[in-house]
Amino acid sequence: MHHENNNDSSKIEISKELTIPKLFYQQAANFGKDRVAMREKEFGIWRPISWQDYLDNVKYIALGLISLGLEEGDKVSMIGDNRPEGLWAEMATLCARGVGVWLFQDCLIDEVRYIIDHSDTRFLFGEGQEEVDKAISIFNECPKLQKIIWDDPKGMRNYDEDYLISLKEVQQLGRELEKEKPDFFEELINKGHGEEVALLFYTSGTTALPKGALLSHNNMLTMGQHLMTVDPCQGTDDYVSYLPFAWIGEQMMSISCGLQIGYTINFPEEPETAQENIREIGPHVMFAPPRMYEQMTRSVQVKYLDATWIKRKFYEFSTYAGYKVANLKFDKKPVPFYWRFLEWLSSVTVQKKLKDHLGLSRVRNAYTGGAAMGPDHFRFFHALGVNLKQIYGQTEVAGISVVHRSGDIKFDTVGHPIPGTEVKISEDGEILTRSSSVFLGYYKNPEATESTLQDGWLYSGDKGFIDDDGHLVVFDRTKDVFTLKDGKPFAPQYLETRLKFSPYIKDSWVIGDKKDYITAVLCIDYAVVGKWADENKINYTSYPELSQMPEIYDLVGKQIRQANKDLPDVAKVVKFTNLYKELDADDDELTRTRKLRRAFVEKRYEEIVGALYSENDSVNIDTTIKYEDGREAHIKTVMQIRTVGD
Amino acid sequence: MVESNKLNEGDVLLDLQDIDMSFGKVEALVGISLQIRKGEIHSVIGPNGAGKTVMMNCINGLYRPQKGNVVYKGQRINHLRPYQRASLGISRTFQKVEVFGGMTVLDNIRLGRHIHMKSGITSGSIYVGKTATEEAEHRQFIEEEIIDLLEIESIRSKSTGMLPYGLQKRVELGRALALEPELLILDEPLAGLNLEEVEDMARFILDINEEKRWKVTCLLVEHDMGVVMDLSDRVFVLNFGNMIMDGTPAEVQQNPEVVKAYLGEEDLYASRK
């Protein structure tokens, strides 16, 4: 295992006394006005926020919260897009000795109610009108909730509920309190202890109601340090924060790592402009769930299909060389000079441009985690020269515990444990982790805590094993492993990610546990397939209609045959159908981090599963779907069932 | 440019006095009188071919009525050309979007701002001093007041013609706003939009009308009765060039003649609130 100690982060010693606010205060004093803590694109311009501004804003929000009556250990929830105010609110909560809770921006009202109520939240930071509306609609059902704080005035002119208060007013209260007690903020910070609860994070839960994991300051800080020991970051680095703060990976990058090393956190203008903004910034480090990388792959593939003949030839040449070299490196074989030359050539002609368009031109380390990612995607990025690594982690370890090392990448593994982390496999194959980042327990759920935390070991619920090279192999959720017809175990994610390598397929759901053969339910990518249909002069009006067209079935069938290649016969997809809608977290089919909730969809689409294992060639659907604002729509349609063939 | 005199909320901003407009033997408008007060949203409804768009064209100067007066802020403007009326503060959008398809979204909006550009050709050609400051100010206005309001950050440098219809409508509204109008004529802003886009657009209209920064008086031509009844302070009903009535939404909904001539079934104008 290789360690590098020449980075800034190792200078910070994480004692039991150190808290996130203490470190924050120290760093802000250290970097002051001259260093950019964060940047936000606003009104078309990137605007820098210095560490001093960061400190001032946090200070007045924290004091304002105290003025409003925040007491030690009170929960403060936050909901909204990634923006400086969100991070300020979180940091202010910690400075004021509260506990931070983040909600996913697109949470439905029921989820918001559950989390606010379960966490005993007293103060809620919402971004603007949309979040405030959600909060108002649940206010009466959450008796502990006292104030709702908003920062974007747009559309807020007619709101006069007395429990609403703007961020500016909160900061004003903070200023007034500071006049009364000038050193109060520093005193508050100094009171903190590293083992106190900092964050209460709700796990997305593929199986049940979300559980609230309690994370201490120490959990968070050691996480960042351990990760950066493996892959050092620099203070001059740029990082783009655009994934939900409610996702632990984003916390790890923005708080655990960002604070220690002091790199610049960049916030996109709007969620829709994130991709464009990433390109403008060109981050040095990136951590995203597989769907982001899948999206990038898809956009390259689509652009390729659209390109002129000469461009396509160049691209084909460059990927050929890229793949060849990447494969040699994966096999840890020497790369002959002529391949090196061709790789250089392809890098100059194609890859550099391509990486620039994807915002990857400066990336030193790109991580993916949170769900399985297929070897095809992995190869794709390494062939481009992007150092993509798989991680394994969970909310309960405040981020990650295992990661690939540069130059030692295996597609089917997640790499070695990071420093300070022990990983072992229990007798029945469960992955256990022990480190200083393992969480304190679940909030108000002693049974779950007891079964998850035993003698300091975290029982992950994931199955896996450690291979001959010491890499951890994760089998995914224990419940998700299939038994094939020939009795062999099989991870459906493997096939699902393979199917998703096709640009036409957005989501896939593979069925076949203890069944005679494997089947798949697929969601087409509306934009890509729609374009394909336009080019082939196929008329359609909507997603349900397009998805059920015979031509589309032919197209998707071709993609499946491609994915079926090189697989043993029992693991091949035999029958499939195109779902009439996209899988959606609002319908509980996916978690908020877009993991498939297998048990749920199996129940919800019972008829479809039944039809896939019958002689029928179609199935009638009669169902309702839910919109984010609570409205419902009724859908009646017929889905075709196809056999893949050879 | 005519010096504008300050009006208070509730004063008459636009006064149409007994307007007649005919094309050959077709009488498009007959003796139309309408008063629009500052600060209100005044809607004009009526079946297709009732003369709504003709009325709008008379107000903004594309048509000259044969009879009657168009009085804006107490001043008769019958003789003024559209661009002169624009500089008085009358701005509009069109039933069928009339954006410049080959230009970017930003350029379309900037175009609406042109009327406020004061610096001359000389300083413009060397781009120092006045021109540079002026451009920075206009840029700030467009970004902070329009692009942010209409949430079109992600498309600002896209070619307008390539955008979906709903977004083109937004861009057109943005261009109309760049003029900083006092009276904004919206000719069927919701036609052809999907439900979500309708909700967004309705919110923008309310924002423009109510937000302290804007406080624009709106003249709204629209077929979506739910939205008309929810947004409007007053509703003017037109049928075959004749006024049926002018009143509050509640009065209009109760008027049997209106219901018979236009609204038909009651649930057509069900509120969306």
CATH number at residue B217: 3.40.50.300
pLDDT at B50 over 90: no
More confident residue, A11 or A610: A610
Domain A15-223+247-257: what homologous superfamily? ANL, N-terminal domain (3.40.50.12780)
Closest CA in chain A for residue B212: A157
B154 and A276 within 8 Å at the Cβ level: the answer is yes
Final residue of a structural domain among B130, B161, B180: B180
Final residue of a structural domain among B138, B160, B180: B180
Count of structural domains, chain B: 2
Contacts with B172 (C-beta within 8 Å, 6 or more apart), sequence order: B93, B94, B97, B98, B99, B108
pLDDT at A206: 59
Inside any domain, residue B3: yes
pLDDT per position as a tens digit, A197-242: 999 999 866 556 789 999 999 999 999 999 999 999 999 999 999 9
Q: Say yes or no: B230 and B253 in one domain.
A: yes
Q: Say yes or no: B144 and B131 in one domain.
A: yes
Inside any domain, residue B95: no
Task: Name the minimum distance, in Å, from the CA of A358 to any CA of chain B.
Answer: 16
Q: Say yes or no: B185 and B81 in one domain.
A: yes
Distance between CA A417 and CA A394 in Å, rounded?
13
Q: Say yes or no: B135 and B265 in one domain.
A: no
Q: Say yes or no: B201 and B152 in one domain.
A: no
pLDDT per position as a tens digit, A81-118: 999 999 999 999 999 999 999 999 888 888 899 999 99
pLDDT per position as a tens digit, B108-165: 999 999 888 888 788 888 887 788 888 899 999 999 899 999 999 999 999 999 898 9
CB atoms within 10 A of CB A324: 17
Q: Coil, strand, or helix at residue A266?
A: strand
Distance between CA B159 and CA B100 in Å, rounded?
9
pLDDT at A216: 96
Class of domain A288-361+363-478: alpha beta
pLDDT category of residue A587 using cuts at 50, 70 and 90? confident
pLDDT at A569 over 90: no
pLDDT at A252 over 80: yes
3-state secondary structure chain B: CCCCCCCCCCCEEEEEEEEEEEECCEEEEEEEEEEEECCCEEEEECCCCCCHHHHHHHHHCCCCCCEEEEEECCEECCCCCHHHHHHHCEEECCCCCCCCCCCEHHHHHHHHHHHHCCCCHHHHHHCCCHHHHHHHHHHHHHHHHHHHHHCCHHHCCCEHHHCCHHHHHHHHHHHHHHCCCCEEEEECCCCCCCHHHHHHHHHHHHHHHHCCCCCCEEEEECCCHHHHHHHCCEEEEEECCEEEEEECHHHHHHCHHHHHHHHCCHHHHCCCC
Q: Say yes or no: B219 and B195 in one domain.
A: yes
Of A157, A269, A276, which has the smallest distance from its Cβ to B211's Cβ? A157
Where are the domain boundaries for CATH 3.40.50.12780 in chain A?
15-223+247-257, 288-361+363-478
What's A104's DSSP letter?
-
Q: Say yes or no: B167 and B202 in one domain.
A: no
- The model's pTM: 0.86
Q: Say yes or no: B158 and B113 in one domain.
A: yes
pLDDT at A2: 40
Q: Which residues of chain B have a CB within 8 Å of the CB of A276? A: 154
A272 and B144 within 8 Å at the Cβ level: the answer is no
Range of B139's domain?
105-180
- Residue B116 tokens read as 């406020």
pLDDT per position as a tens digit, A393-446: 989 999 999 999 998 988 888 999 999 999 999 998 899 999 999 999 999 999
Whether the predicted interface score ipTM is above 0.85:
no
pLDDT at A361: 93
pLDDT per position as a tens digit, B62-98: 999 999 999 999 999 999 999 999 999 999 999 888 9
Inside any domain, residue B117: yes
Q: Say yes or no: B196 and B171 in one domain.
A: no
- Residue A15 tokens read as 């004692």
Q: Say yes or no: B157 and B194 in one domain.
A: no
Write down the CATH number for the domain with range A481-643.
Answer: 3.30.300.30
A154 and B140 within 8 Å at the Cβ level: the answer is no
A43 and B148 within 8 Å at the Cβ level: the answer is yes
Q: Which residues of chain A have a CB within 8 Å of the CB of B148? A: 43, 154
pLDDT at B264 over 80: no
Final residue of a structural domain among B123, B148, B180: B180
Q: Say yes or no: B165 and B125 in one domain.
A: yes
pLDDT per position as a tens digit, A321-365: 999 999 999 888 999 999 999 999 999 999 999 999 999 999 999
B153 and A154 within 8 Å at the Cβ level: the answer is no
Inside any domain, residue B99: no
**A542 touching chain B per CB within 8 A:** no
Percent of chain B with pLDDT over 70: 93
pLDDT at A43 over 60: yes
Q: Say yes or no: B204 and B174 in one domain.
A: no
Inside any domain, residue B100: no
